[in-house]
Amino acid sequence: MNILAKESHWSYSGWLMVTMAFLSNVITFGFMYSFSVFLKPVSSEFGWSRASTAAAFSLFGITHDAFAFVGGLLTDKFGPKLTTAMGGFCILLHSSW
């Protein structure tokens, strides 16, 4: 007799992971690609020209892509746990300045 209950299709924990990954991507890319909506308010808040504000966002995009490549290489070499932990440690150090 099998004492373990068979897991149903909807209670599979993988669906939670898929849902959380989907929500994370929606929120992240929603903020990143809605920058044009906030271009005018941000530039007026900081007293920058629109060109300076757009250049700052472009610099963010370039560095984000470059560090994503580096992060991928580090994840392949050291694994996701260590890479994520070190990234969190770097954020901690940066936020304490």
- 23-35: pLDDT as tens digits: 999 998 888 888 8
- Which residues fall within 8 angstroms of residue 86, CB to CB, at 6 or more apart? 74
Q: Quick one: pLDDT band at residue 86, thresholds 50, 70, 90?
A: very high
Q: Residue 11: its pLDDT value, please?
A: 65
| Contact (CB, 8 A) for 58 and 52 | no
pLDDT recorded at residue 13: 78
Residues 50-59, mean pLDDT to the nearest whole number? 93
pLDDT at 23: 95
Using alpha carbons, select from 97, 35, 16 the residue that is nearest to residue 7.
Answer: 16
Report d(CA 67, CA 59) in Å as an integer. 12
pTM over 0.75: no
The residues spanned by each domain of the chain are 19-95
